[in-house]
A and B are shown apart, each in its own frame.
Chain A
Amino acid sequence: MKIKLEKRSPGTITTLYITFLSIILALGVSALIFESQGVNPLIAYKEIFVGAFGSVYGFSETVVKAIPLILCGVGLSIAFRAKIWNIGAEGQLLMGAVAATWIALNNNIPPNLKISLMFIVGFMCGAIWALIPGFLRAKLNANEVITTLMMNYIAMELVKYLVVGPWKGAGEWGFPQTSIFPKSAWIPTIAKTRIHYLTLIIAFSSTIFTYILFVRTKVGYEIKVVGDNPEAARYAGISHFKIVMLVMLLSGGLAGIAGVGEVAGIHHRLRPPEGISAGYGYTAIIVSWLGKLNPLGVIVASILFGGLLVGGDAIQVSLGLPSAVINIFNGAILTLILIGEYLANYKIKFEFRGG
């Protein structure tokens, strides 16, 4: 018997089915890894699920974690469509947080303008942080994977420097953090949850914006062409420089807004990087890939990963596991998604000898 693989173009149902299967398998692989290290996977998974979806508060926390994932994920999907590998969402998010902190703690700015300004300047700072490597890529063809990644580390060090040094809060004793923001710089939340709904609204709007961008606009079309075949894009008169800068501006800016949300909606102060972002910028890469660079897919994937993060916090407390273990899921899911993508493109035919 011979197994033959025949190429085909997968339909939406097939894609969804295979994606779902990949996630299940990834959870299985992760379970094995946990088991090998003496952690009971069933208990771990139960904790995760209950923590993330088992109560209203739990679900609200899932939404809280999903907000920055949606923002970064949507932004990254724009960049990835152009095949510009922006791995720097984490740093862009942090720069948005820095910008928001500056505005929040600045006494010269009228209080009623603070929230709007935080979002605007946060977007701009995230965008600039992405435009630097974007420019290096567009003009000098410098590998953006490395440059955006390096900018992440630089941003992290910058935040560490600020909270330990010049921006350290006066009454904060030994804690490396800024003073708490004035109430005028607190993004309001829904009822008894931590959902900072203004950021959530921006997240949904950005999703709709991106959808329209790619389905209905000239610029969206140009981004797609650049991602598919940059030579054809040049031939068609599309400016590569313009597109690269644009996608970096958008993805960096959205990540910046995510940073604003975290710092002004959740923590109300600037803290060391790991206290602001649980690796949202990196998780967003997986979220956007899992969502197939499609805004709707990104939302669904964000809920899933938001839940995983909430669950991750839960098992960190109850099982004493370091928070970085959540990366096991991330890595396994991404790996299995890649395998799934390959299988989706082939129909398996079994050929019997003599047939």
Chain B
Amino acid sequence: MNLESAIASLLYATLRAGTPLLLGTLGEVYAERSGVMNLGVEGMMIMGAVVAFGVSLSTKNVLLGILAAALIGGLLSLIHAFLSISLRANQVVSGIALTTLGLGVSSLIGRRYIGIPLPNPLSPLLLKPLTNIPVLGKSLFNQDIIVYMSIILAVILWLILFKTSIGIRIRSVGENPAAADAAGVNVFLIRYLCVFFGGVLSGIGGAYLSVAYFPSWREGMTMGMGWIVIGLTIFAMWNPLRAIVGAYLFGGIMALQFKLQPMGISPNLLAMLPYASTIVALLIGTSETMRKRIGAPLALGIPYEREEKTY
């Protein structure tokens, strides 16, 4: 395999592997910008995967499957939203509860899909004539529609967050919910919406795995991607554009993992790469946050209560 096609092939795989990460991270960025940490992403992704597979199989329509996955991701996230926002429960525990539930229910539902191939997975959308560009052509412009949409979505989400009135509201709720409340912003509604949005995107991210990337269903197939998403959110410093960088960086690491396998390196040692890299990415994000003194939404993870005793 010559260098050109090796790079092309790597780029191709990078974009595909990075897409579920990008979707999950974009969703989590919005949730965390509104002040809620959603650690249930792993559970929502895997439920998205199994639901998408099942619905695609039975309706023979992949897009319906993805829609169903979005819905289930959103619904699950509403449970987390209810626990963390309305009940002001510990967000770490709540997220873990949702992930555990998601892993369990998905394996229950998915047992009949094991080993069954998907007859009509998501096919690539060729952007001719761009596909004729050397190297980049075959790798960047013959991806499927979800890949393209996720990048466009990232840009739109960035615009919304920083250049619109809704974005100001979301960010204010995450920085200082009391101030936002006093300004007449509905803190609970914004948080619920952002968490729901995050759940929807996680669901779609999971769906991508089962109807496009592999495509198949395996128990636990997300392999911790949901957790990597949380790390990537910090690496992205809660910025949708930077999330693109992070997601594809990790997509690249994962793609590399598979490319290096034939060279005789143990697949298990290679498999450690994404996880170890997440720790490094987390450290980078955290230290940059501390250096630049901008970073995590100030109220992240802290439940908001209006009628508080004043001292």
Chain A's closest residue to B108 (CB) is A325
The answer to whether B272 touches A334 (Cβ under 8 A) is: no
Chain A CB within 10 A, most for which of B98, B100, B230, B286: B100
Contact across chains for B96 and A334 when beta carbons are under 8 A apart = yes
Task: State the CA gap A149–B282 with chains docked (Å).
Answer: 12
CB distance from B88 to the nearest CB of A (A): 7
CB of A322 within 8 A of CB of B100, answer: no
B101 CB-CB contact with A under 8 Å: yes
Is A219 an interface residue, CB under 8 A from the partner? no
Q: Is the CB of B103 within 8 A of A145?
A: no
A141 within 8 A of B: yes
Q: CB-CB < 8 A to A289: which residues of B?
A: 93
Also in contact, A324 and B231, with CB within 8 A (given A285-B96, A338-B89)? no
Contact flag A141-B286 (CB < 8 Å), given A157-B269, A165-B266, A330-B104: yes
- Interface residue range, chain A: 35 or more
State in angstroms the CA–CA spacing of A87 and B100 once bound together: 13
Residues of A with C-beta under 8 A to B83: 335, 338-339
Quote the shortest CB–CB distance from B131 to chain A (angstroms): 36
Name A331's closest neighbour in chain B (CB-CB): B101
> What 0/1 readout, one digit per residue, does chain A (326-350) give for beta carbons within 8 Å of chain B?
1111111011001101100000000
Contact B278 A338 (CB under 8 A): no
Task: Kindly supply a per-residue 1/0 record for chain B positions 37-61, scoring 1 wherever the CB is within 8 Å of any chain A CB and 0 otherwise.
Answer: 0010001000000000000000000
Min CB–CB distance B82 → chain A (angstroms): 9
Which label, helix, strand, loop or mixed, suits the secondary structure of the B interface?
A: helix
Q: Is B39 a contact of A327 with CB atoms below 8 Å? A: no
A289–B83 alpha-carbon span in the complex (Å): 15
Q: What's the count of A-B pairs with C-beta under 8 Å?
A: 145
Instruction: For chain B, residues 95 to 142, give those with C-beta under 8 angstroms from any C-beta of chain A.
Output: 96-105, 107-109, 111
Whether a CB of chain A sits under 8 angstroms from the CB of B179 is: no
Cα–Cα distance between A229 and B25 once the two chains are bound (Å): 31
| Of listed B88, B94, B231, residue having the most chain A CB within 10 A | B231
Q: Which chain B residues lie closer than 8 Å to A37 at the CB level?
A: 108-109
Cα-based distance from A329 to B97 in the complex (angstroms): 10
B92 at the binding interface (Cβ < 8 Å)? yes
Residue of A nearest to B87 (CB): A342
Interchain CB contact under 8 A, A327 and B103: yes
Q: Is B159 an interface residue (CB 8 A)?
A: no
Q: Does A154 sit within 8 A of B, measured CB to CB?
A: yes
User: Does any Cβ of A come within 8 Å of B279's Cβ?
Assistant: yes
9 interchain pairs (CB within 8 A)? A142-B279, A143-B234, A145-B230, A157-B271, A161-B269, A286-B97, A322-B219, A324-B220, A335-B79
**Residues of A that sit less than 8 Å from B by CB:** 33-34, 37, 39, 85, 87, 133, 136, 140-143, 145-147, 149-151, 153-154, 157-158, 160-161, 164-165, 282, 285-286, 289, 320-322, 324-332, 334-335, 338-339, 341-342
